């Protein structure tokens, strides 16, 4: 929890600082509620959660003395309520060998780092892991994955930059199956400037994987960079349908004061949130827990 709390410090400072300055020895009136609404919206919590908090306070505390602490308790409660339904662990169904995870997300969102950290986590749990360097567009991405492979002891299926990504995915699933690996994690390209081309490529990868295993991919994880704020909402929209996203990983929560965006995404899409990144270290990819997140963000 300490790592989570320090990772979310910028977001919680922003929110609690705003709350403290609004609620210094004040009765709760229409003006303070307006100011509070601004603070919460600026933290990217989204309209639904912001309204829920403001309305709860209006109903229960209007015209009465109220402290910043009282407001933070309501905030923590509402954030917890919004996040509890989406806080679901990633379950590796061992009936599938390999359990195929397709990682999608725009360049720079933390996809490769997350793959590395997941590989490390699975290996530590005693699972055998294989990685596939499916971002065949960028030589640097292939190299980065190979570094993670060496670090975690996971073999990496790769081809020279410019190769066909779906062909690589096909080979990777075939090989992981032949070698009896527990988990296969497939990296993909993330060049959003070519949105349609990218989505068609992801669809093709999924079609081709299914020729080897009709039940695969067993998870499609979308990495989102928390520092991109509202943009993250668009990315869920874009990748959500065409890539069949089954769960989210939000990275770089330590790098933003607007970590509330995760709450807005949870409300809008209802997709499971499996992990959050609160730093660059291996331990900084944490399984997502609603109540801990709510407590950390409320300060």
User: In the complex, which residues of this chain contact ligand GDP (CB under 6 A)?
Assistant: 105, 107-113, 190, 251-252, 254-255, 277-280, 284
Report the residue number, 78 or 254, with the smaller CB distance to ligand GDP: 254
Q: Which of 94, 78, 114 is nearest to 298 (CA)?
A: 78
- In terms of C-beta density within 10 A (0-12 exposed, 13-18 middle, 19 or more buried), how is residue 104 classed? buried
Query: How many Cα atoms within 13 Å fall on the side-chain side of residue 243?
Result: 31
Distance of CA 31 to the CA centre of its chain: 35
- Residue 89 is classified by DSSP as P
* Spatial contact of 221 and 117, defined as CB atoms under 8 Å apart: no
Please, what is the minimum distance in Å from the beta carbon of residue 267 to ligand GDP? 22
Query: Is there a binding annotation on residue 110?
Result: yes
Report the residue number, 77 or 280, with the smaller CB distance to ligand GDP: 280
Query: Is there a binding annotation on residue 251?
Result: yes
Query: How many Cα atoms within 13 Å fall on the side-chain side of residue 174?
Result: 8
Report the residue number, 187 or 213, with the smaller CB distance to ligand GDP: 187
Q: Which tokens in the block code for residue 30?
A: 């229409």
Please, what is the minimum distance in Å from the beta carbon of residue 140 to ligand GDP? 8
Cα separation, 10 vs 255, in Å, equals 7
Owner of token pair 């399984």? 287
Other C-beta atoms within 10 Å of 27: how many? 12
Cα separation, 44 vs 38, in Å, equals 10
Please, what is the minimum distance in Å from the beta carbon of residue 251 to ligand GDP? 4
Query: Is there a binding annotation on residue 191?
Result: yes
- Residue 163 is classified by DSSP as S
Please, what is the minimum distance in Å from the beta carbon of residue 124 to ligand GDP? 19
Report the residue number, 78 or 135, with the smaller CB distance to ligand GDP: 135
Report the residue number, 110 or 134, with the smaller CB distance to ligand GDP: 110
Query: Is there a binding annotation on residue 105?
Result: yes
Q: Which residue is nearest to ligand GDP (CB)?
A: 277
Please, what is the minimum distance in Å from the beta carbon of residue 239 to ligand GDP? 12
Please, what is the minimum distance in Å from the beta carbon of residue 238 to ligand GDP? 15
Query: Is there a binding annotation on residue 180?
Result: no
Cα separation, 220 vs 214, in Å, equals 15
Report the residue number, 80 or 116, with the smaller CB distance to ligand GDP: 116
Query: Is there a binding annotation on residue 22?
Result: no
| Cα distance from N-terminal residue to C-terminal residue, the chain | 12
Q: Containing H/E element for 58?
A: helix 47-61
Please, what is the minimum distance in Å from the beta carbon of residue 8 to ligand GDP? 11
Residues pairing with 286 in the sheet: 276
Query: Is there a binding annotation on residue 81?
Result: no
Query: Is there a binding annotation on residue 9?
Result: no
- Which is it for the CA torsion 149, 150, 153, 157, positive or negative? positive
Query: Is there a binding annotation on residue 34?
Result: no
Report the residue number, 41 or 236, with the smaller CB distance to ligand GDP: 236
Point out the annotated binding site for GTP: 105-112, 187-191, 251-254
Point out the annotated binding site: 105-112, 187-191, 251-254
């Amino acid at each position: 929890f300490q790592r989570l709390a320090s990772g979310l410090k910028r977001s919680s400072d922003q929110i609690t600082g705003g709350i403290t300055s609004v609620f210094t020895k004040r009765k709760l009136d229409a003006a303070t509620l307006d100011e509070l609404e601004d603070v919460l919206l600026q933290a990217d919590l989204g309209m639904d959660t912001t309204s829920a908090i403001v309305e709860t306070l209006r109903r229960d505390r209007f015209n009465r003395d109220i402290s910043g602490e009282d407001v933070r308790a309501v905030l923590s409660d509402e954030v917890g309520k919004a996040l509890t339904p989406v806080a679901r662990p990633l379950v590796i169904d061992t009936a599938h060998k390999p359990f195929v995870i397709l990682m999608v997300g725009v360049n720079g969102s933390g996809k490769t780092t997350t793959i590395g950290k997941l590989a490390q986590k699975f290996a530590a749990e005693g699972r055998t892991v294989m990685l596939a360097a499916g971002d065949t567009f960028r030589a640097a991405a292939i190299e980065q994955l190979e570094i993670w492979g060496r670090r975690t002891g996971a073999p990496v299926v790769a081809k020279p930059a410019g190769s066909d990504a779906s062909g690589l995915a096909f080979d990777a699933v075939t090989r992981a199956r032949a070698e009896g690996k527990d988990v296969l994690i497939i990296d993909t390209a993330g060049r959003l400037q070519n949105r349609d081309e990218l989505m068609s490529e992801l669809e093709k990868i999924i079609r081709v994987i299914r020729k080897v295993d009709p039940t695969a991919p067993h998870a499609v994880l979308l990495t989102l960079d928390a520092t991109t704020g509202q943009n993250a909402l668009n990315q869920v929209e874009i990748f959500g349908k065409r890539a069949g996203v089954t769960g989210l990983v939000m990275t770089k929560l330590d790098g933003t004061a607007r970590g509330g965006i995760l709450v807005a995404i949870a409300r809008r899409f209802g997709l499971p949130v499996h992990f959050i990144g609160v730093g660059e270290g291996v331990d900084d990819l944490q399984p997502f827990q609603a109540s801990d997140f709510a407590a950390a963000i409320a300060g």
